């Protein structure tokens, strides 16, 4: 952390202690989980760090076809868990293996990924596509779909509240994830997480989210509507690719042009939907 003003480091024993330490520091305190993001960020105003990795929030549980993941579970911890592995056609390993490199995945936590929520990040796109719900403890308990939370100024909220858990609902179908970066370990130039359910040879439901546009991952409801009721197969994937290319809103930044993103978005969505449909029909 730049500025070198950190004076105290606390290992909180439980959520209550973490909250009371945060309250005591006011705006000069911060939750520390894996530290991957916080320690390289330019928050020079932090005096007290509250480490929450020892408060019993590292767990992965199956919940009737869904999965509940404690906020301080590392990305590697999710990858190594059976419940994380089995969920929704194996989508969590697909997404998490695309995140940074093994040493970073050994440190970075799911809760930290929810809160840091970089626009280019892989995990927010997947959380939105999967309908994940985040739960937290602050002055009061709170919960919200990640998709809705990201429409609010959520970072302020987590200056005085601790994310405790992320809940992934059950899906009768499968998801797939696609990412394009300059190298295997680089951040995404564009990413897409898509899911479908197939019943009686037709698509029963569809979820399509695209991120790093360069804005954070959001759903494309019109693409989802275009898929529902249709027969999975190459003609439909081509149609979806063209539709996304025509309608998606993208921007340019120093990494990629809008024109490039528009074309690649169509390809990524078509690929992800096709793979999800194959998994769902298997
Ligand atoms: C070099 C590098 C490469 C990366 N590459 C990728 C990538 O390819 N794809 C990708 O998706 N992401 C990538 N990331 C982002 C990374 O996944 C996240 O930054 C990471 O998950 C953060 O987790 P953490 O536990 O280390 O958070 P920390 O650094 O500990 O915290 C991050 C922020 O969240 C707050 N916070 C953490 N946990 C909680 C909690 N439970 N409740 C409330 N607030 C909390 C902290 O106060 C801080 O503001 C990369 C990051 C780095 C530094």
Residues whose beta carbon lies within 6 Å of some atom of ligand 1: 30-38, 40, 52, 71, 99-100, 104, 107-109, 111-113, 115-116, 118, 121-123, 158, 162-163, 187
pLDDT tens-digit map of 81-130 = 999 999 998 999 999 999 999 999 999 999 999 999 999 999 999 999 99
pLDDT tens-digit map of 144-179 = 999 999 999 998 999 999 999 999 999 999 999 999
Please state whether the peptide bond connecting residue 214 to the residue before it is cis, i.e. omega within 30 degrees of 0: yes
The SS3 call for residue 270 is: helix
Q: Confirm if 133 and 162 have CB atoms less than 8 A apart.
A: no
Reading the block at residue 230, the tokens are: 């249709």
Residue 4 pLDDT more than 70? no
Determine the average pLDDT of the residues in 54-79: 97
Q: Confirm if 84 and 60 have CB atoms less than 8 A apart.
A: yes
User: Which whole-number Å values give the CA distances from 223 to 45, 191, 194, 236, 239, in the listed order?
Assistant: 43, 15, 10, 11, 10
Residue 141 pLDDT more than 60? yes
CATH class belonging to 175-281? alpha beta
Q: What is the pLDDT of residue 5?
A: 81
Please state, for a pLDDT cut of 90, what percent of the chain lies above it. Answer: 91
CA 50 – ligand 1 centroid, Å: 15
Probe target for ligand 1 pocket from 17, 33, 180, with the most ligand atoms within 8 Å of CB: 33
pLDDT tens-digit map of 255-270 = 999 999 999 999 999 9
CA 243 – ligand 1 centroid, Å: 34
Reading the block at residue 279, the tokens are: 């998994």
CA 204 – ligand 1 centroid, Å: 35
Q: How far apart are CA 121 and CA 251, in angstroms?
A: 16
Asked: is 60-168 a CATH 3.30.465.10 domain? The reply is: yes
Concatenated DSSP letters of 18-35: HHHHHHHHGGGEEEESS-
Probe target for ligand 1 pocket from 102, 115, 119, 139, with the most ligand atoms within 8 Å of CB: 115
Q: Confirm if 50 and 31 have CB atoms less than 8 A apart.
A: yes
CA 36 – ligand 1 centroid, Å: 6
The mean predicted confidence, pLDDT, of the chain is 95
């Amino acid at each position: 952390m730049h500025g070198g003003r950190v004076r105290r480091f606390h290992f909180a024993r439980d959520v209550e202690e973490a909250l009371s330490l945060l309250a005591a520091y006011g705006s000069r305190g911060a939750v520390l989980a894996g530290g991957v993001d916080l320690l390289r960020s330019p928050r020079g105003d932090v005096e007290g760090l509250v480490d929450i990795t020892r408060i019993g929030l590292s767990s992965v549980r199956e919940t009737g076809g869904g999965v509940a993941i404690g906020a301080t579970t590392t990305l590697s911890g999710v990858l190594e868990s059976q419940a994380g592995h089995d969920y929704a056609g194996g989508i969590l390993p697909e997404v998490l293996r695309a995140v940074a490199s093994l040493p970073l995945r050994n440190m970075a936590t799911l809760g930290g990924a929810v809160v840091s929520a970089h626009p280019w990040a892989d995990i927010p796109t997947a959380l939105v596509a999967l309908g994940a719900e985040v739960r937290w403890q602050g002055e009061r308990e709170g919960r919200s779909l990640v998709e809705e939370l990201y429409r609010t100024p959520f970072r302020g909220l987590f200056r005085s509240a601790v994310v405790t858990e992320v809940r992934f609902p059950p899906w009768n179908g499968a998801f797939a994830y696609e990412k394009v970066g300059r190298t295997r370990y680089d951040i995404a130039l564009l990413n897409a997480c898509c899911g479908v359910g197939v019943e009686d040879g037709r698509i029963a439901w569809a979820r399509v989210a695209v991120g790093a546009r360069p804005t954070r991952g959001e759903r494309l409801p019109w693409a989802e509507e275009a898929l529902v009721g249709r027969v999975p197969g190459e003609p439909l994937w081509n149609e979806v690719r063209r539709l996304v290319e025509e309608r998606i809103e993208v921007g340019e930044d120093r990494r990629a042009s809008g024109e490039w993103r528009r074309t690649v978005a169509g390809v990524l969505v078509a690929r992800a939907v096709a793979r999800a449909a194959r998994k769902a029909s298997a």
